[in-house]
Structure 1
Amino acid sequence: MPRNYKRVSVSTSDGRRHYTVERRGSLLECASADVRDGKLSVRQAAKKYDVSKSTLHDYMTKKHVKKPGGQTVFTPEEELHIVNRVITLGEWGLPIDTFELRMLIKCYLDERGITVKCFKNNLPGTDWSSCFLLRHKNQLAQRVSQNIKVARAKVGPIEINQYFDNLEKTLKDVPPSNIINYDETNLSDDPGNKKILVRRGTRYPERVMNHTKSNISIMFSCSGSGKMLPPYVVYKAVNLYDTWTEGGPSNVRYNRTESGWFDSNTFEDWFFKVGLPHAKRQDSKVVFIGDNLASHLSLSVVEACEEHNIDFVLLPPNSTHLTQPLDVAVFRAVKTHWRKILSEFKTSSIGRRSVSLPKSEFPKLLGQLLNRISDNIMKNIMNGFRKCGITPLNRQEPVNQAEEDSPEAAGASNDGTLETQELEASTITDGTAMTQATGTSTGTGDEMCAIDESDIVMYLQEPILDKRERMIFDLDVTSWPQ
């Protein structure tokens, strides 16, 4: 809680005035007005309104323009600017807590090169956030969120319908070329496993190929009309060297972070160098659709969106397999081609000598990747927007998929599978005179053959496709590269 200062009560004989700060301003304004109009002198006005003569004189000469007491770090205009941005984030479906508010202020100060001595490492303390909310209690309020179970947190038809209710209002009269879907993924330094020919009976087939667990983050973005925006690469490094950006496509942007992942600074750089230039070329409102990570948005991004008629639509949590076009129809082809390109590089002379993927070689490999996916990329993007119900706007397909994936449907499916398995097991055991206790089966002759229980288990288990694979199979498979 903030440290609330309480003034000690004093008598009037010491010359102090016992008016509140709010009343003080109105009294001084009335007194100064009478003096300016020539009705009273400074001494007479001070006596009439019960204020100090020196205080009234300083007020009229604007000697002390600041309010009494401790001063705030930001001006009232700056604080109002912050309040409006916080409200905008909440309207976009991304409410923040006090810690995220403090991190937002730290990024705001770091971007402008401002150092506040009372903030440790430019990070405001809990007292500042509490006092900030107290000063703006008419605009902002804290509410306690409820804890829900994991099964309830999973996305279902209700969440998808709520998302589409907001989407329909936001996308009204917005053409497909003005709808941008963005998502970050990573390209790993592991070409993956593949089937090889070995001597029969080999238990541990291996191949010699250098690989590591390192990844390079990359932001892809595309429009509903099938256009791919320039990719944005983020290396895991402290510094960014020129050799890491040479030899690749000319329109790709590069950056680096210590973690190798996107943060508010890198997302802001992507927005101003890739997203905003595309939005400025459009004649009407532009909508960005992406995940709801708090690290993706800063005050500068929100301000630019309000200035250039840009809206953000944030996807519901755990729903990217239903609502993210890049996840649904693009990233699978990207990862498949990347593993092939990486395998070819690993077998080259440079790749065999390198323990890991050199960052100086990555731009060239990225250029090969973009060339290989260019033939079908437009069709895949448009299929992804259609499958997610964005263009054309159709909520039925994602809602139906969410109903199939809901816990209630899964429970009913599991019950039916268990009943079927029990029926099949009883049919097998009763129809062929199989004695499960002895593990033998009697045929028409005198021969005896052993029954392996693992065969029965494998027979009863049915393959279950992953949610995302089922969605991909529903697409036009001819559009995927062979």
Structure 2
Amino acid sequence: MPQFYKKKTDRYHLLHEEMKLAVQKVVEDKESLRSVSKAMNISRSTLSRYVEKYKANNSSTLTPNFHQRMLFSMEQETTIKEYLIDCSNRCYGLTREATRKFVYDLAKDNNIKMPNSWITSKAAGEKWLVGFMARNKKLSLRQPEATSIARAAAFTRRNVSSFFDSLEEVYKRTNVDGSRIFNLDESGFITVQELPKVISPRGQKQVGQQTSREKSELVTCCAIVNAVSNKLSPVLIFPRKWYNETFMNGAPEVSLGLTNTLTGSAWMTSDLFIRVAEHIIKHARPTKEAPMVLVMDNHASHCGYTVLKMCRDSGIHIVTLPPHTSNKTQPLDRTVFGPMTQYFNSGANSWQITHAGQPITIYQSAQLIGSVYTRACSTENIISGFKAAGIWPLNIDVFTDVDYLPSTVFQNVHTAPTPDQEQPSTSGAGGASDQQLSTSGAGGHQTSNLPRVVQVEHRTSYLL
């Protein structure tokens, strides 16, 4: 039997009311079966079958029962779907294998008759999962983005509200518009590009593609943009102790190149950020009469005393983002650095093809970054980034309850019960114990609560 049945005719199935009307004409109005089937375009054998069914029980359903072979009812499948969505929203989504194991346990606990293959493998069948996904179009198999525990735990309504309160207070005090609201952030670009898919012979087990070298070097790009899509030239930090003017060949005009004379790394430091602040003051030209607001993360290198004093004297009002929330509250992270990384990898791959045999080094990084900087920092990307983060226009309600769900997993995570305390009941991810997810099994059996995320000894795990 095929996984998904495809109709071979253009006939359609009548609704219960339509078939009941036809049956009543035959049974109660004593019309001939032939004339009724012809008048209502119903197969005579089908009408005859439903006439006999109606005579035996006039309250029976007069439509095909397509759901009689379903293991779970539609209500049960809806509950399963909602549970899977809830797990995904909390950054604890289930894999295909975990979902099949979960469904098997649910069927077993509810005494639902299941195929022998499920019992043997202790998991729902792959075909059942395919059908379930087809019946629930809101579900799809996605590649999740890695979200650290620190990010998930830090993005709380309290932290975000505190940030927006500070931002609103600064807006009112400075009376700035979008042209004076800036965002600063850094992103790293490596000299070994990520490889795209290439056309190659079918069946070949291994396909190679040249990269510049085996070990990559990092070049940091510090971008500064404002809420009306204007951008300052970037600041590039190279992994060397001594600066060379050739590092900046091909960089955007009036860009700033820096090196760390102490460690030779490409990481931002407090000393280097002083140069970045000078770069901002030189090109953005803030004054106490025409101040600017600078939104950035609170990395230690950004908050040195010298920088803070310099910004205060120059009319720059700094508002730092809550720790570990930049993936949602940083405009550059939201809509600029993602496309910029893709463009950089594509450009690096094209450069490698047109310069066969030559490796990409930090001497080509400025050229490659410069070629994609303007493209990634487009008007649409920058404005949508500020809007998505709720920074401009100011929108303190930009994040919904779904956005805060991952943090609820960690509520009371450090509270361990003592031996004389009553053991807590199994609660949902983030303690959502008031949401009792249960379904009714075959024969009216009531299910136990669906598996859910619980906190046990400072660990988060699934009870499957």
Give the TM-score band, short-chain normalised.
0.5 to 0.7
Counterpart Cα distance in 2 of 1:340 and 1:384: 23
Matched, 1:361 2:367: no
Structure 2 residue runs of 5 or longer lacking an equivalent are 1-148, 411-427, 443-464
Counterpart Cα distance in 1 of 2:151 and 2:370: 42
3-state secondary structure, aligned to 1:161? helix
User: Which of 429, 434, 448 in structure 2 is aligned with 1:411?
Assistant: 429
What is the CA distance between 1:283 and its match in structure 2? 4.9
> Higher relative contact order at CA 8 Å, sep ≥6: structure 1 or structure 2?
2
Counterpart residue identity of residue 168, structure 2:
E
3-state secondary structure, aligned to 2:323? coil
Matched, 1:303 2:309: yes
Structure 1's 248 and 423: CA in aligned 2 closer, same or farther, altered over 3 A? farther
Counterpart Cα distance in 1 of 2:151 and 2:254: 43
What is the CA distance between 1:232 and its match in structure 2? 0.2
Aligned to 1:192: 194
Report if the CA contact (8 A) 2:334-2:385 is conserved. Answer: yes
Counterpart residue identity of residue 184, structure 1:
E
Counterpart Cα distance in 1 of 2:429 and 2:206: 38
3-state secondary structure, aligned to 2:363? coil
Structure 1's 213 and 364: CA in aligned 2 closer, same or farther, altered over 3 A? closer
What is the CA distance between 1:276 and its match in structure 2? 5.2
* CA deviation map 1:43-87 (0-9, x unaligned): xxxxxxxxxxxxxxxxxxxxxxxxxxxxxxxxxxxxxxxxxxxxx
Counterpart Cα distance in 2 of 1:151 and 1:272: 31
Counterpart Cα distance in 1 of 2:440 and 2:195: 39
Report if the CA contact (8 A) 2:233-2:253 is conserved. Answer: no
Report if the CA contact (8 A) 2:238-2:259 is conserved. Answer: yes
Counterpart residue identity of residue 331, structure 2:
P
Counterpart Cα distance in 2 of 1:415 and 1:275: 52
Counterpart residue identity of residue 335, structure 2:
A
* CA deviation map 1:82-131 (0-9, x unaligned): xxxxxxxxxxxxxxxxxxxxxxxxxxxxxxxxxxxxxxxxxxxxxxxxxx
Matched, 1:227 2:230: yes
User: Which of 322, 330, 341 in structure 1 is aligned with 2:328?
Assistant: 322
> CA RMSD for the aligned pairs?
3.3
Report if the CA contact (8 A) 1:182-1:220 is conserved. Answer: yes
* CA deviation map 1:452-471 (0-9, x unaligned): xxxxxxxxxxxxxxxxxxxx
3-state secondary structure, aligned to 2:219? strand
Counterpart Cα distance in 1 of 2:409 and 2:233: 42
Structure 1's 254 and 333: CA in aligned 2 closer, same or farther, altered over 3 A? same
Report if the CA contact (8 A) 2:335-2:385 is conserved. Answer: yes
Aligned to 1:253: 256
Matched, 1:170 2:170: yes
What is the CA distance between 1:275 and its match in structure 2? 4.2
Counterpart Cα distance in 1 of 2:202 and 2:248: 46
* CA deviation map 1:261-314 (0-9, x unaligned): 110111110111234541437952211110111122333222222222321111
Counterpart Cα distance in 2 of 1:334 and 1:414: 39
Structure 1's 366 and 392: CA in aligned 2 closer, same or farther, altered over 3 A? same
Report if the CA contact (8 A) 1:322-1:401 is conserved. Answer: no
Aligned to 2:390: 389
Counterpart Cα distance in 2 of 1:170 and 1:338: 36
3-state secondary structure, aligned to 2:398? helix
Matched, 1:183 2:185: yes
Report if the CA contact (8 A) 2:287-2:314 is conserved. Answer: no
* CA deviation map 1:327-351 (0-9, x unaligned): 00111111111011100111122x5
Counterpart residue identity of residue 429, structure 2:
G
What is the CA distance between 1:371 and its match in structure 2? 4.5
* Between structures 1 and 2, the one with greater helix share: 1
* CA deviation map 1:181-231 (0-9, x unaligned): 000001112221322334444443332333432110010010111111110
What is the CA distance between 1:368 and its match in structure 2? 1.6
Counterpart Cα distance in 1 of 2:376 and 2:152: 38
Aligned to 1:372: 375
Q: How does 1:31-430 map to 2 (within 5 A)?
A: 153-172=153-172, 173-211=175-213, 212-257=215-260, 258-275=264-281, 277-280=283-286, 283-349=289-355, 352-354=357-359, 357-373=360-376, 377-400=378-401, 402-408=403-409, 411=429
Counterpart Cα distance in 1 of 2:199 and 2:152: 47
Counterpart residue identity of residue 167, structure 2:
L
3-state secondary structure, aligned to 2:391? coil
Counterpart Cα distance in 1 of 2:242 and 2:397: 47
Counterpart Cα distance in 2 of 1:205 and 1:271: 47
* CA deviation map 1:410-453 (0-9, x unaligned): 8279999x979x999x9xxxxxxxxxxxxxxxxxxxxxxxxxxx
Counterpart Cα distance in 2 of 1:423 and 1:193: 50
Aligned to 1:443: none
Counterpart residue identity of residue 380, structure 2:
K
Counterpart Cα distance in 1 of 2:288 and 2:373: 25
3-state secondary structure, aligned to 2:399? helix
Counterpart Cα distance in 1 of 2:389 and 2:364: 35
Structure 1's 305 and 371: CA in aligned 2 closer, same or farther, altered over 3 A? closer
Counterpart Cα distance in 1 of 2:343 and 2:200: 25
Structure 1's 274 and 352: CA in aligned 2 closer, same or farther, altered over 3 A? farther
Counterpart residue identity of residue 361, structure 1:
Q
Report if the CA contact (8 A) 1:185-1:217 is conserved. Answer: yes
Structure 1's 233 and 198: CA in aligned 2 closer, same or farther, altered over 3 A? same
Counterpart residue identity of residue 368, structure 1:
S
* CA deviation map 1:365-403 (0-9, x unaligned): 2332235336xx111111011111111110111354532
How many residue pairs are counted as aligned between the two chains?
Answer: 272
3-state secondary structure, aligned to 1:292? coil
Report if the CA contact (8 A) 1:160-1:402 is conserved. Answer: no
Report if the CA contact (8 A) 2:152-2:406 is conserved. Answer: no
Report if the CA contact (8 A) 1:323-1:388 is conserved. Answer: yes
Q: TM-score with structure 1 length normalisation?
A: 0.51
Structure 1 residue runs of 5 or longer lacking an equivalent are 1-148, 427-482
What is the CA distance between 1:161 and its match in structure 2? 0.9
Q: TM-score with structure 2 length normalisation?
A: 0.53
